Amino acid sequence: MTLASDQDVPATAPTAPPSPFQDVPASATGVLTIDLDAIIANWRKLESRGVPAECSAVVKANAYGCGTEPVARALAAAGCKTFFVATLDEARAARAAAPAATIYVLGGCLQNSGDLFAELDCKPVIGDLNELAEWDVFCRRTGWAGGAALHVDTGMNRLGLTLEEAQGIVPRIRAGNHGITLLISHLACAEDPHNPLNARQLATFREIAVQFAGVPASLANSSGIFLSPQFQFDLTRPGAALYGVNPTPEAGNPMLSVVDLKVRILQTRNVERGETVGYGATWTARRATRLAIIAAGYADGYFRAAGGADGVRSAEVIVAGRRCPIAGRISMDLIAIDITDLPDKAVRRGQMATLIGDGITVDELAHHFGTIGYEVLTSLGRRFWRVYKGGAV
């Protein structure tokens, strides 16, 4: 195996056009660009489908890898009034970005955490009777009246009160001054519009929502918004669709792409026919091959499953404007790309290759990773330099 020669570069090269990455630090191995205007446009599209229901935004898991504070700030400026997070730490970040918003914590109220809810002025989503009792004790002891949501399980079988437990709270609701500001449940199969569980969950949730008269209700996640208006109730809770993941897998993606990921090419190499590439020697060069080695790997959230092996189709990376396959296994920090079909001298050290963007979608990568777009987004590594476009950053 030999290194490709760059000795034929002219001593005086022509002046290159300004690089779009000229403000990126020299130390950055890659650039993750997040389009806040696209997130806002996606939220508005989802909002328009649910009128008159309010459209909230789920910004848990660092806003699906896109950054809680810049995303929440942009959406709040666009008119979003309610946000959902998973933890109190996430609530703190959301509150810093959206001081006037209503913030719900889906993970509920952990023991002895009531004071933090009051400090941040956010509301727990309670899904257990013992948890509700502890919350009530805190509220009575402190006089806190910030309210809480109740989560009723309608078929997911994760968190949530049973239907019978929720019905046991109905007398409290009818008595007034109950402190419950929202009733929610979560759809298990909303991305599959033909799954019968959707109708069963809707019927179950409607049954309890009617008994909780006067309490706003929320059932629809991203995909649930597209099922039918019946699923939308008073508040919708889109998450992944805000960030460009397709909420309707059986049809085209109605959402705008949000993220673009480019990484640096560290080196180009020539490989002779019959030589292997990468750990395990799973990929064999069938011809004299030219490789580009890029500065990303599974430590950056680019899953090992997307690598190339003999007889296996890999994911693709865009180099010099063309899609090129991955050669060999993906390493922790490096990926080898087969650039043999590109023109000579089209690729040089320091150029950027595109892992997401320019037609390569998060959902396409999810297919190669053997997972879903949610996991692709939330796995994007912290080593990339983040750039935000548009919005109120």
Cα separation, 197 vs 281, in Å, equals 46
Q: What is the pLDDT of residue 22?
A: 63
Instruction: Give the per-residue pLDDT at 381.
Output: 87
Q: What is the pLDDT of residue 268?
A: 97
The token duo for 337 is 């790309």
Mean per-residue pLDDT for 256-277?
97
Q: Which residues contact 99 (CB under 8 A, 6 or more apart)?
A: none
* DSSP letter (8 states) at residue 88: H
Check if the beta carbon of residue 84 is closer than 8 Å to that of residue 123.
no
pLDDT, tens only, 156-195: 999 999 999 999 999 999 998 899 999 999 999 999 999 9
Rounded to whole angstroms, the Cα distance separating 328 from 111 reads: 48
**pLDDT at 18 > cutoff 80:** no
Q: How much is the pLDDT for 5?
A: 35
Mean pLDDT of 31-47: 97
% residues pLDDT > 90 (the chain)? 89
Q: Please say if the pLDDT value at position 6 is more than 70.
A: no
Which helix (DSSP H) or strand (DSSP E) does residue 75 occupy?
helix 68-78
How far apart CA 233 and CA 230 sit, in angstroms, is 7
Query: Which tens digit of pLDDT belongs to each residue from 303-346?
Result: 999 999 999 999 999 999 999 999 999 999 999 999 999 998 99
DSSP E strands in the chain: the ranges are 2-3, 30-35, 54-55, 57-58, 82-85, 102-105, 123-126, 148-151, 180-184, 217-218, 235-236, 259-271, 276-277, 283-284, 289-294, 316-319, 322-325, 335-338, 352-356, 385-389
Helices and strands, counts by H and E, the chain? 11, 20
- Residues annotated catalytic, as ranges: 60, 279
- Look at residue 141 and tell me whether its pLDDT is greater than 70: yes
Tokens 């599959």 -> residue: 192
Q: What CATH code would you report for 2-7+20-32+258-389?
A: 2.40.37.10
- The whole-number pLDDT of residue 392 equals 55
The residue-averaged pLDDT of 258-273 equals 97
> What is the identity of the amino acid at 25?
P
pLDDT-derived band at 25 (thresholds 50, 70, 90) equals confident
Whether residue 64 has pLDDT greater than 70: yes
Question: Residue 9, Cα to own-chain centre: how many angstroms?
Answer: 42
Q: Give the residues across from 32 on adjacent strands.
A: 261, 386
For residues 17, 20, 26 and 32, what is the CA-based torsion angle, rounded to 10 degrees? -160
**Cα-Cα-Cα-Cα dihedral sign, residues 65, 95, 132, 215:** negative
Across the range 378-388, mean pLDDT stands at 93
DSSP letter (8 states) at residue 309:
B
**pLDDT band at residue 9 under the 50/70/90 scheme:** very low
Answer for the pair 384, 28: CB distance below 8 angstroms, yes or no: yes
**216: alpha, beta or left, given left = phi > 0 and alpha = psi -120 to 50?**
beta
Mean pLDDT for the chain overall: 93
Q: Please give the distance of CA 74 from its chain centroid, rounded to a whole number.
A: 16
Model pLDDT, residue 20: 55
Give the C-alpha separation, 272 to 251, whole Å: 43
pLDDT tens readout for residues 228-253: 999 999 999 999 999 999 999 988 99
Tell me what pLDDT residue 21 has.
63
**What CATH number is given for 52-243 in this structure?**
3.20.20.10
d(C-alpha 363, C-alpha 360), whole Å:
8
Q: Does pLDDT of 24 surpass 90?
A: no
Three-class DSSP category at 91? helix
Would you say the pTM of this structure is higher than 0.85? Answer: yes
With helix as H, strand as E and coil as C, how does 144-210 read?
A: CCCCEEEEECCCCCCCCECHHHHHHCHHHHHHCCCCEEEEECCCCCCCCCCCHHHHHHHHHHHHHHH
Distance in Å from the first CA to the final CA of the chain? 47
Domain boundaries, the chain: 2-7+20-32+258-389, 52-243
- Per residue in 185-237, pLDDT tens? 999 999 999 999 999 999 999 999 999 999 999 999 999 999 999 999 999 99
